[in-house]
Structure 1
Amino acid sequence: MRRKEDVVRGVAAGIAMAATAPYLTLKLLWLTGSHVGARDPKALDSLWTVNLLTFGMDATALALALSFVRPWGRRAPAGLVAFPMWVATGLLGTILVAVPTDALASLVLGPEHRTPDQPHLDDTIADWVFTLVYGGFGVQGLSLMTAFVLYARRRWAGLLRSRIGDLPDSPTRNVQRAFACVAALVALAVAGVRAYWAAGGEVGLPIHWVEQRTRSIATMDAAMAAMAVAATVATLVLVFRIGPGRRLRGPLTVAWLGAGSLFGWGGYQLVAFGTETTVKDLPSATPGLMNLVQAGQFTAGVLVLAVGAMALTERAVQREQPSSRAALSGTEPPRDLAAR
C-alpha cells in the first residue's frame, strides 16, 4: 500500500513541477523585457514588481513539489514545508473553486456582453495567456495538493489519525479561543463585503475596477467569501472542541484551506494592489474600504495561523514527554512518535 502511495506521490509531484514550467517561463520573459502575450506593453511594464512576486511564488511551488519526493524533504523542518504549502493551498484552492464555478456560470448563462468602449483586463493581456495561466494553476493545484496529502500521511500520520478531543487542554486555550473569535469576526466581515461585491455591489471599489468588473472577478469574490466562512466555522470547531469524537483531519483540512486563502490572497492583493502611494488621477484612486478588506483577510489568516501554531506545538511537546520518560526508564518510545 505504501509503495503504491509513493508512486502516486511521485507522479503527482512530477506533474506539479511540469505545470510550473509554462508560467515560470512566461514570467521570466516578462521580467527580462519581452512583451509576448501583451496587448498593452506599457501596462505590462508597470507590473514588473508583481511579476517578480508571482515568479517567486511559483518557484516556491516548484521547490515544494520537489521536497515531497526527495529524502531531504522529510528531514526539513516542519514549518519550512507546512507554511509555504499552507499559503499555496489557499491561493490555488481558491482558484480551483472559482474557475470551474465561472465556467459553469458561462455555460448556463452564456458569454458576457460588453460595449466596445468598456475597458477590460483582456485589453492588456491576450486571451491565450489567461488560458495558459489558469489552466496551469488548475493542474498545479490538484497535483501539488495530492502530493502533499500523501506526504503528510507519511510524515504526520499520528496527527491525522487523531480526534478533536485529543488536542491538548493547555494553558493557552483561552488565548487560542480569543484569537479564533477575533479572527471569526474579521473573516465574517470580509465575507460579507466580498459577497456584496460578488452580487454586483460597487461601494468601496475604485472607479476603474467597477468599469472592468466581469463575472470572473465576481466569482472570485464569491469564492473568497466562501473560504472566509469555511475558515471561521472550522477554526471555531477546533478551538472549542465541538464534537470531540470526530476525526481531526476534516475540520483541520477546512481550516487549513480557508485560512490559507485568507492569508494568501489578502497578503498578495495588499502587496500587488494596495501599496500604491501615487495617484495619477481620481479613477486610479483606491478607496480605503478595499485596502481594509484585504488587510482584514490577511489579519484573520495570521490569527488562525497563530492558533494552529500554538495548538500543534503544544501537541508535539505533549507527545515528546512520554518519549523522555521512556528514555529515562530505559524503555522504547511509542512507535507513533515517528510520524511527528
Structure 2
Amino acid sequence: MSRRATLPVGGRVVGMDLSADRTLRPGLAALAVAATLPYLTLKLLWLCGSTVGMVDPATAEDPALWLLNLVTFGMDGVAALLALAFARPWGQRLPAGLVVLPMWVATGLLGPLLLALALTAAATLLLGGEAAPAADGFLRPWVYLLVYGGFAVQGAALAGAFGLYARGRWGGLLRARVRDLPDTATLPLQRVLVGAAAVLALPVTAAHLYWCLGGTTGLSADTVDGRGHGFTSLQGVWALAAPVAVAALAVVVFRAGPGLGLRGPLAAVWTAGGSVFGWGCWVLLAGGLRTTAPDPAKAVPPATHLLGAAEADAGLLILVVGAIALIEHASARADVESAR
C-alpha cells in the first residue's frame, strides 16, 4: 500500500502520496542532472581553450564569447544544484528565496525554448526543412542538437521535480483560492505596479510580434541572415509571455474571479513572468558583451538593449508583486493556524 500524509488546508485534510513522490522526484532530479552533463562538458572544454564543435577556431579567441561561456556554465551548474535540492532532504531546509528565485529564472529561460522547439518541429513538418544551423559559420550542426536536446530533457525533468517539491513544501498555500488572499495595506501599491508592468509589456509584445512576422528593424545583420522557423517560433512565444504574465497577475491583485483557484494564475505568472525577466536580463547581459563585437554584423543594436531593459523591468515588477502577495498570503495563513 502507498503511504499518504495529510496536510491541513483551510480546515480540510488533503492526502498526499508520499511513496510515489519519493520514487518519482529523485528520478526526475537525476534525469535533470544527467541532461546538464553534455552541455557542462562542452562549455568546460571551450573555457579551457578547445575549439571542438566550432567551424572557425578563431572564434574561441573572442573574450566576450569566453565570458558568455563562463556565465552559461555557471547557470547550468545552478540548474544541476537545484535538481539535487529537489531530491535531497537538505533541499527542504533551504530558504525559500534560494530555491524559488533561481528556479523561476530557470523556468523562464527553459520554458520558452521547450515550446519554441515544439513549434519549430511542427513548422518544419508543415512547411519543410531549412538550411543546417551551421550556415552561420559558427557551430557544427551536432552542437545544436546536443545543446537544445539537453535543454528539452533538462527543462521537462526539472519542472516535474520542482512541481513535486513545491507540492510537498507549499501544497496548502497553492491550493488556496483568489478570495483567500488578504486585503492588506499594500494592495493598492500592488495594483499600481501591475499597471506599470502592463505599460512596459506593450512595447515588448509589439517588438517581438513585429520580429515574429518578419520585421528586421532593431536586429543585427547576423540575426537577420540566420532567421528561420526557430527564430520565428521563439519570437512568437516571447510576444505572448508579457501579456499572459500581466493578465494572470491582474487576476490575483484585482481579485477577479474570487472563486478561481490560485494555482492556475500562479502557474501562468510563474512561467510567463519568468520568461519576461529571464530573457530580458539575458539580452542585457549577452547584448552588452556583444555591442562592440569584432564583426559589425554580430553587434547588437541599441533597440535590442532597450527591449531587454523593458523586459527585465517588467519582469522585476512582476516578481515584486508576486512575492508581496504570496508572502502576505502565507503570513495570513500562519496567523489563522496559530490562532486555532
The alignment status of 1:86 with 2:86, answered yes or no, reads: no
> Structure 1 stretches of 5 or more lacking a match?
327-332, 334-340
CA gap 1:105/1:156 in 2 versus in 1, 3 angstroms: same
1:100 pairs with one of 118, 123, 139: 118
For residue 320 of structure 1, what is the aligned residue in structure 2? Answer: 334
CA gap 1:37/1:84 in 2 versus in 1, 3 angstroms: same
For residue 74 of structure 1, what is the aligned residue in structure 2? Answer: 92
What residue identity is the alignment partner of 1:171? Answer: A
CA distance in 2, matches of 1:313, 1:142: 27
Identity rate, percent? 48
Which deviates further from its counterpart, 100-109 or 213-222?
213-222
What residue identity is the alignment partner of 1:32? Answer: C
User: What is the SS of the residue equivalent to 1:274?
Assistant: helix
Per the normalisation by structure 1, the TM-score is: 0.90
The alignment status of 1:36 with 2:23, answered yes or no, reads: no
2:280 pairs with one of 262, 266, 269: 266
For residue 19 of structure 1, what is the aligned residue in structure 2? Answer: 35
Alignment of 1:246-325 (within 5 A): 246-276=260-290, 278=292, 280=294, 283-323=297-337
What residue identity is the alignment partner of 1:206? Answer: S
Deviation of residue 188 (structure 1)?
A: 2.8
Deviation of residue 317 (structure 1)?
A: 2.2
CA gap 1:308/1:96 in 2 versus in 1, 3 angstroms: same
For residue 241 of structure 2, what is the aligned residue in structure 1? Answer: 227
Contact 1:259 1:301 in 2 (8 A): yes
CA gap 1:281/1:60 in 2 versus in 1, 3 angstroms: closer
For residue 212 of structure 1, what is the aligned residue in structure 2? Answer: 226
What residue identity is the alignment partner of 1:90? Answer: G
CA distance in 1, matches of 2:219, 2:225: 10
CA gap 1:235/1:120 in 2 versus in 1, 3 angstroms: farther
CA distance in 1, matches of 2:296, 2:56: 21
CA distance in 2, matches of 1:273, 1:3: 46
> Structure 2 stretches of 5 or more lacking a match?
1-16
What residue identity is the alignment partner of 2:103? Answer: M
Contact 1:119 1:212 in 2 (8 A): no
For residue 62 of structure 1, what is the aligned residue in structure 2? Answer: 80
Deviation of residue 278 (structure 1)?
A: 3.0
CA distance in 1, matches of 2:172, 2:316: 25
User: What is the SS of the residue equivalent to 2:265?
Assistant: helix
CA displacement, residues 261-309 of structure 1 (integer Å, 9 cap, x when unaligned): 0111111121012344536575454332111111111111100000011
CA distance in 2, matches of 1:96, 1:154: 25
CA displacement, residues 232-283 of structure 1 (integer Å, 9 cap, x when unaligned): 2111111111111011000100110001001111111210123445365754
CA distance in 1, matches of 2:222, 2:320: 36
The alignment status of 1:49 with 2:63, answered yes or no, reads: no
The alignment status of 1:132 with 2:132, answered yes or no, reads: no
CA gap 1:72/1:282 in 2 versus in 1, 3 angstroms: closer
Deviation of residue 4 (structure 1)?
A: 0.8
What residue identity is the alignment partner of 2:186? Answer: T
Contact 1:119 1:211 in 2 (8 A): no
What residue identity is the alignment partner of 1:80? Answer: L
Contact 2:176 2:262 in 1 (8 A): yes
User: What is the SS of the residue equivalent to 2:91?
Assistant: helix
Q: How many residues align?
A: 322
Deviation of residue 314 (structure 1)?
A: 1.3
2:171 pairs with one of 146, 154, 157: 157
1:10 pairs with one of 1, 26, 46: 26
User: What is the SS of the residue equivalent to 2:50?
Assistant: coil
Q: Which runs of 4+ in 1 moved over 6 A?
A: none
